[in-house]
Amino acid sequence: MRIIIFLVLTLLSFYGFTFQVQPMVAELATNGTGSQQTLRVMNNTTEPLTIELAAYELLINSKGKEKLKINEEDFLIIPMTTIIPPGKTQSVLVRYIGDPLIESSKAYRIAVNQVTVDLNLAKQSGVGMSVSFRTLFNVVPKGAKASLKVKNFEQVEKGKWKVLLENDGNKFIRLSQGKWVFKNANNRFLLEGPELSKALTGKLVLPYSSREVLINVPVEFNADSSNLQVLF
């Protein structure tokens, strides 16, 4: 059993690097030319790659837990299934065809799924494998704006805070694109860019919603004696 588990993890790691999807994040308009995006799926292996695509509506509760709901009505995807030869790249058209009059942005995961493959091990050990990439697509109506407020923050442990955020605007917020400023009586610390992305456990706040995130902060900042600003 240990050998099988180790083999599966090794294969997943290998295929995670050799099967690539770009872009992983995109923003679409509700109609017109801006409502479509081309996904590029790169097969860097020496074997044919069979993929299928699916669209899911993304919901996030106040604790940050994601829920995916299949949604085949809001997107036109061409092709939905295809075989990519070794070393080649397949372009996939993803077009939003849902309600053009939505009043707030909507988030989706466009999943690029590898169809389960036989690695010539299945007959002997029962091991098969499939890999899935889940992109983030946000459909945004014209003029939509986000409005973020820090509602509360507390110390979870040394060097880690739990922060309650609220977005009362009609556009999503990607938290890693902001600037997080921590202040106490003696110090000021700015987190942004890649370092902010590494420090955060949650990256997205949907319109008209609140959620908790965890963030790593320098140990000299205690939530009881510090202040936090999140700027965009």
Contacts of 32 (CB under 8 A, 6+ apart): none
pLDDT of residue 152 exceeding 90: yes
Say what the pLDDT of residue 204 is. 97
- Distance, CA of 122 to CA of 126 (rounded, Å): 4
At residue 91, what is the residue type?
S
Q: In the structure, what pLDDT confidence band is assigned to residue 231 with cuts at 50, 70 and 90?
A: very high
Say what the pLDDT of residue 10 is. 40
Please check whether the two domains, 2-139 and 148-231, share a CATH topology.
yes
Residues 170-178 have a mean pLDDT of: 96
Contacts of 134 (CB under 8 A, 6+ apart): 56, 109, 110, 111, 112
How distant, in Å, are the alpha carbons of 57, 82, 136, 173, 176 from that of 35? 16, 23, 14, 19, 24
Residues 60-78 have a mean pLDDT of: 95
How distant, in Å, are the alpha carbons of 55, 63, 88, 170 from that of 211? 24, 6, 41, 15
Percent of the chain with pLDDT over 90: 83
> Does the domain made of 2-139 have the CATH classification 3.40.50.720?
no
Say what the pLDDT of residue 2 is. 41
Ramachandran bin of 15, using left for φ above 0, alpha for ψ from -120 to 50, beta for the remaining angles:
alpha
Q: Coil, strand or helix: which one is 68?
A: strand
Say what the pLDDT of residue 16 is. 46
Average pLDDT of the residues of the chain: 89
Say what the pLDDT of residue 90 is. 97
CATH number of 148-231, picked from 3.40.720, 1.10.238, 3.30.460, 2.60.40: 2.60.40
Say what the pLDDT of residue 120 is. 56
Report for 5-14, 128-137, 198-207: range of highest mean pLDDT? 198-207
Give yes or no for a contact between 167 and 205, defined as CB atoms under 8 angstroms apart: yes
Q: In the structure, what pLDDT confidence band is assigned to residue 15 with cuts at 50, 70 and 90?
A: very low
Say what the pLDDT of residue 19 is. 82
Say what the pLDDT of residue 134 is. 95
Percent of the chain with pLDDT over 70: 87
Q: In the structure, what pLDDT confidence band is assigned to residue 118 with cuts at 50, 70 and 90?
A: low
Of 125-134, 167-176, 185-194, 208-217, the one with minimum mean pLDDT is 125-134
Give the rounded distance of the alpha carbon of 130 from its chain centre.
Answer: 19
Enumerate the domain spans of the chain: 2-139, 148-231
Structure pTM?
A: 0.84
Residue 86: asked if its preceding bond is cis (omega within 30°), the reply is no
Tokens of 48: 């044919």
Q: In the structure, what pLDDT confidence band is assigned to residue 215 with cuts at 50, 70 and 90?
A: very high
